Amino acid sequence: MEYTDLTTIHRTIINCCECPRLVEWRQSVAIHKVRRFREDHYWGRPLPGFGDPHASIVVIGLAPAAHGGNRTGRMFTGDDSANWLMEALYQSGFANQNTSEHKEDGLILHNVYITAAVRCAPPQNKPTHEEAANCFHFLLNELDLIQPRVVVVLGRFAYDAIRHYLRLHGIKPHSSAHFAHGVQETWNLESRLLTVLISYHPSRQNTQTKKLTRPMFLQVFQAAHAILDMQ
């Protein structure tokens, strides 16, 4: 399935009901809210990407958080992972503020577009392979339309998604390549260079155990900035 513009992709994503398990879960979360958000009106639907439609950098996460994006209606908003990401983008000059609280909080991204491999909040943050496959065409079309120079993948799931994207464009990623924070890969993709920067996901599991620290995370976006400056 091919789309000619991001607006059409976004509209299609929001109305998607392709995966019954994810539909049931995202809607259930929106009804049976956690206590701290019991007064909030939950989005409870799939989430499109957001940011600069002409961005040179695309950031790819796993999926919306159950009480983050699934609540607010915007990817990487309203939770700890969101604030880690916005702090790094702000310090790197890609965002006008260092927090991401809700859709109308005034956040503006500069030269960055944020998206995810899967668009519905999955139970235990674990979409199935079939669910990921159902969702992949959205990411494929976003990347083809935006044509970024740098892609930052947050976590192994996003890394696998970008490798699949490269294979579909005739590139065979090295079989020996492995997922590791700070690794950088550059490919010649249809007459343009595409650099993939790998980061651990800023989940609590990684940040609270210090597997991912703020300096480590910031370094990835500083590297993205440096790549744009050189090209």
| C-alpha to C-alpha distance for 41 and 60, rounded to whole angstroms | 26
Count of residues for the chain? 231
Is the pLDDT reported for residue 176 higher than 80? no
| C-alpha to C-alpha distance for 30 and 143, rounded to whole angstroms | 29
Reported as a single tens digit per residue, the pLDDT across 17-28 is 999 999 999 999
Q: Are 191 and 200 in contact (CB under 8 A)?
A: no
Rounded average pLDDT over 101-123: 97
Confidence of residue 230 (pLDDT cuts 50, 70, 90): confident
Reported as a single tens digit per residue, the pLDDT across 22-53 is 999 999 999 999 999 999 999 999 999 999 99
Reported as a single tens digit per residue, the pLDDT across 177-189 is 688 999 999 999 9
Over pLDDT 70: what percentage of the chain? 98
Rounded average pLDDT over 98-113: 96
Which pair of tokens denotes residue 213? 């620290």
Domains of the chain: 6-230 (3.40.470.10)
Q: What is the mean pLDDT of the chain?
A: 95
Measured CA angle at 213 (ends 109, 207), to 5 deg: 90
Model pLDDT, residue 14: 97
Three-state DSSP state, 42: coil
Model pLDDT, residue 175: 60
